Each structure stands twice: as structure tokens, then as C-alpha cells.
């Protein structure tokens, strides 16, 4: 982090609002701001980070769209319906923020967070707010460090090019060069005074350096699949601690199976995917206890036919009570030590409580709206393996 201007730090108070600009129209990607990324609306990723940081006096979305307004409110944000004059293709972010401030005079500082930065984490926002509040900076913006060799652009003028930030005769190794800082567009914080005077950066300025893996921006369709993979690996999925997970509980109905029941001459049958069984086996190898649960009164004959090497409890009317009984049996002190996979309305409370939670792609809306990892696959078609691999990847990252 670095600053320009005088060195005196004055603690700053006043109403600090997070503001996400989300116009309904998008030339590059239609309905981009609410298009599903890794199972959740794009704008939902940054809203959850802002709200979970607990660093803002208010969290807003400025939009001209009914659909975006609904999604924003579903995630817990307030909505400012911007006027038509600042909803054009040519409208700048600065103009839109100025219009917001005109209608919200109580706001003293704005943290403009880009909806297209889905790997943003609450910790980053908390640190930036401290820079504003405690260190007294007037503006703070996000950057990322790149180790890129730049050459003079002669595409229009012709002639001979030349290196601009290194000596070709003595090319530095990556480990011997600190690189350069580039704005990544993730956020711009500034005081109302600066913004009303026409600046998003000015006064005592500071940058906040984000991790490269968290520095993701989506502009065109080609960015989408790359961003989706980055989010699944490095995104913020709530406050769970992967190192704490000791128990994995999976709903049989609709997660391990596709939710369908096959009846033949009065005999029921269900099916599950062998890859999902492999996923649970991988968790066991990581010393995570695996248990299965079902609301249905599944017969002992049917359960034995599945050859599941895990403890199964069927005909469960209250899943939370069942999991808490297992926690007591395993001497687990909190839900932070539980990873839960569900898909039904009856799973929602467990999904909210669990330290880590996941849902298949065809889960009910209420389940998807929790802090869950939303799988690409449907229940019974590899979703359990996908969530298990996600947990294991985070376990490796946390313990390395």
C-alpha cells in the first residue's frame, strides 16, 4: 500500500456506503450483472462480500432494471433506482455516483465496487475501509501486480519499437523484479467532496494491492468460463474454515440421487452415481467422517442394496437435530466443523449453519440463496464428487 500527498493521517468518520453500479443494458454480455456465474448471479458475489465485511453503514445497488433490483434485494442490498439520464451507454461511473449522492445526502464516503469482480473477499474491503477510516486517505483504489515487459506502440506511426520498462540486453528474472502495479477496476473508494468535484482519485491517495488470484474482471463472453473456474477455486463462499471440517453430511434425496423413485410391482428403487461414491471416499481419506441423511422412510433392503459404506439415517423429520446429535457423538464443538450438502427446502437451515455448504445445480432456490457452493452438475450426476473436490482443494490450500 502506498500514498501520495501529505503524510498526516486524520481519522475519518461519516457514513460510508458500498455502491454497486448495475445498469440493465450490457452491450458485451446481455444481462451480465445477473447472469449466473458458478451458480449465482454475478452481482451476488460482490454483494455478499460487501455485506459480510460488516464494514459499511449501507450497501446499495444503483440500477434501472426491475430484474436487477429483485436480485439485489434478495441478497440483502438496498436499491437506488437511477434516472434515465445516467442509464445511457455513454454515462460514466462518476456521473452515476454523483447522481446517487444527490439523492442520498447522508453518505459521506462511497466505496464503488464493480459487479464484474466476483473474486472479491470481505477481508480486502475491511482493510480498505481501515485505510479510509483510520489512516485518513481521501481515495483508495485496487491494483494488481504484473510482471509484463512493455514495448512502445508503433502500430500507427510505424518505425522501430523500443522497450519501455526493461533493458532487453539484461532481461530481469521474475524473482529479481518487483513488477508493476496496474489498476484492476475492482473498487474505487472516495470521499463525497472528491466525487462532487469530479474525481474518483485524488487528495491523499492510496492503492490496495489485491492478490492476483482474486483479481478477476469480466468484460466479454470469453472472460466468463475463465472467471467461473477462478471463482470456484478462489472465490468467497461464506465464512467457513475448511481446516475445521470433520463431518460431511449429504442428503440422499436429490443430491446423491437424482431425486426420482422407480417403482416396479410395488418395489422401489433409486440410483446413484459411482463418481459421487468416489467423492465421499476421497473425503474419508482426508479423515472427514461421512454420513447420509433422508427425509424418506427408505427401506433397509433398499439401503443395503446400495452397498453404502457410511452411516445412513432415514425418515428424518428434523435434519438439524439429527446433525447436532451426530456432532455430539463425534465431540464436535460447532457447526463450523460440518460440511453439508442439500437441495431441498428442509435442508436450508443446515446449509445456513454449516461451516461449508454445497448444493447441486438443480437445488431449490432457497438452498441456492445460502452461502453455498453451487455445483455445475445435477443431483445424482456427479454433484457430490464436485463438492467433495471443492472441499479437498480448499483443505489443501488451507493446510499448505
Domain span at 284: 242-399
The per-residue pLDDT for 25 is 75
The per-residue pLDDT for 4 is 46
How far, in Å, CA of 301 to CA of 118, rounded? 46
**Phi/psi of residue 134, nearest 5 degrees:** -90, -40
For residues 275 and 346, membership in a common domain is answered with: yes
The per-residue pLDDT for 246 is 92
Residue 360 lies in a domain: yes
Strands (E) across 233-386 are located at 247-251, 262-264, 267-269, 289-293, 311-313, 338-341, 356-359, 373-374
For residues 278 and 206, membership in a common domain is answered with: no
Which of 194, 229, 264 represents a domain boundary (last residue)?
229
Residue 236 lies in a domain: no
Tell me the CATH number at 314. Answer: 3.40.50.1000
Question: Active-site residue among 171, 197, 233, 260?
Answer: 171
For residues 247 and 395, membership in a common domain is answered with: yes
The per-residue pLDDT for 304 is 63
For residues 190 and 261, membership in a common domain is answered with: no
Residue 270 lies in a domain: yes
For residues 392 and 367, membership in a common domain is answered with: yes
Which of 189, 205, 229 represents a domain boundary (last residue)?
229
For residues 166 and 111, membership in a common domain is answered with: yes
Residue 237 lies in a domain: no
Active site residue 171: yes
Residue 124 lies in a domain: yes
Paired residues of 2 in beta bridges: 207
The per-residue pLDDT for 9 is 63
For residues 198 and 285, membership in a common domain is answered with: no
Each residue's pLDDT tens digit in the chain (400 positions)?
444 444 556 788 999 999 999 998 766 677 889 998 877 899 999 999 999 999 999 999 999 999 999 999 999 999 999 999 988 888 899 999 999 999 999 999 999 999 999 999 999 999 999 999 999 999 999 999 999 999 999 999 988 999 999 999 999 998 899 999 999 999 999 999 999 999 999 999 999 999 998 998 887 777 888 888 788 778 887 755 566 789 999 999 999 988 777 776 556 667 778 899 999 999 999 999 999 999 887 766 666 666 678 888 888 999 999 999 999 999 998 888 999 999 999 999 999 888 889 999 999 989 988 878 889 899 999 999 999 998 887 776 544 4
Paired residues of 264 in beta bridges: 267
Strands (E) across the chain are located at 2-4, 15-21, 36-37, 40-41, 58-63, 78-81, 107-113, 139-146, 180-191, 205-209, 247-251, 262-264, 267-269, 289-293, 311-313, 338-341, 356-359, 373-374
For residues 387 and 286, membership in a common domain is answered with: yes
Residue 328 lies in a domain: yes
The per-residue pLDDT for 239 is 59
The per-residue pLDDT for 301 is 60
For residues 248 and 216, membership in a common domain is answered with: no
For residues 147 and 272, membership in a common domain is answered with: no
How far, in Å, CA of 339 to CA of 369, rounded? 17
Residue 49 lies in a domain: yes
The total number of structural domains that make up the chain = 2
Which of 182, 205, 229 represents a domain boundary (last residue)?
229
Residue 166 lies in a domain: yes
What's the whole-model pTM score? 0.71
b (16+ CB within 10 A) / e for 4-23: eeeeeeeebeeebbbbbbbb
For residues 45 and 106, membership in a common domain is answered with: yes
Tell me the CATH number at 88. Answer: 3.90.550.10
For residues 220 and 258, membership in a common domain is answered with: no
Amino acid at each position: 500500500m502506498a500514498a501520495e500527498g501529505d503524510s498526516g493521517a486524520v481519522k475519518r468518520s461519516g457514513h460510508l456506503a458500498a455502491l454497486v453500479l448495475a445498469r440493465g443494458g450490457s452491450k458485451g454480455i446481455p444481462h451480465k450483472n445477473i447472469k449466473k456465474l458458478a451458480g449465482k448471479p454475478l452481482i451476488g458475489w460482490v454483494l455478499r462480500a460487501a455485506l459480510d465485511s460488516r464494514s459499511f453503514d449501507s450497501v446499495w445497488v444503483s440500477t434501472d432494471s426491475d430484474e436487477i433490483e429483485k436480485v439485489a434485494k434478495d441478497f440483502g442490498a438496498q436499491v437506488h433506482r437511477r434516472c434515465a439520464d445516467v442509464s445511457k451507454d455513454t454515462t460514466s461511473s462518476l456521473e452515476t455516483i454523483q447522481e446517487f449522492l444527490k439523492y442520498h445526502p447522508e453518505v459521506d464516503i462511497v466505496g464503488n465496487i464493480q459487479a464484474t469482480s466476483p473474486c472479491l473477499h470481505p477481508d480486502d474491503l475491511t482493510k480498505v475501509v481501515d485505510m479510509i477510516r483510520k489512516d485518513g486517505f481521501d481515495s483508495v483504489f485496487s491494483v494488481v501486480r504484473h510482471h509484463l515487459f512493455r514495448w512502445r506502440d508503433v502500430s500507427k506511426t510505424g518505425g522501430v519499437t523500443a522497450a519501455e520498462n526493461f533493458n532487453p540486453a539484461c532481461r530481469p528474472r521474475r524473482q529479481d523484479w518487483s513488477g508493476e502495479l496496474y489498476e484492476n477496476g475492482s473498487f474505487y473508494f472516495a470521499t463525497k467532496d472528491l466525487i462532487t468535484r469530479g474525481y474518483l482519485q485524488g487528495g491523499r491517495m492510496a492503492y490496495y494491492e489485491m492478490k492476483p488470484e482474486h483479481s478477476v474482471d469480466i468484460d466479454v463472453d470469453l472472460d466468463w468460463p475463465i472467471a467461473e473456474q477462478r471463482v470456484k477455486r478462489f472465490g468467497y463462499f461464506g465464512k467457513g474454515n475448511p481446516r475445521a471440517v470433520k463431518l460431511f453430511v449429504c442428503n440422499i434425496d436429490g443430491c446423491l440421487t437424482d431425486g426420482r423413485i422407480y417403482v416396479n410391482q410395488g418395489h422401489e428403487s433409486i440410483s446413484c452415481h459411482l463418481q459421487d461414491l468416489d467423492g465421499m471416499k476421497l473425503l474419508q481419506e482426508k479423515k472427514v467422517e461421512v454420513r447420509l441423511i433422508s427425509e424418506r422412510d427408505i427401506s433397509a433392503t433398499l439401503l443395503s442394496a446400495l452397498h453404502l459404506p457410511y452411516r445412513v439415517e432415514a425418515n428424518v423429520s428434523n435434519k438439524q437435530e439429527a446433525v447436532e446429535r451426530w456432532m455430539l457423538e463425534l465431540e464436535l464443538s460447532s457447526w463450523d466443523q460440518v460440511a453439508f450438502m442439500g437441495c431441498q427446502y428442509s435442508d436450508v437451515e443446515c446449509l445456513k449453519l454449516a461451516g461449508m455448504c454445497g448444493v447441486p445445480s438443480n437445488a431449490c432456490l432457497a438452498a441456492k440463496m445460502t452461502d453455498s457452493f453451487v455445483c455445475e452438475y445435477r443431483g445424482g450426476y456427479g454433484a457430490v464428487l464436485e463438492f467433495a473436490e471443492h472441499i479437498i482443494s480448499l483443505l489443501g490450500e488451507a493446510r499448505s
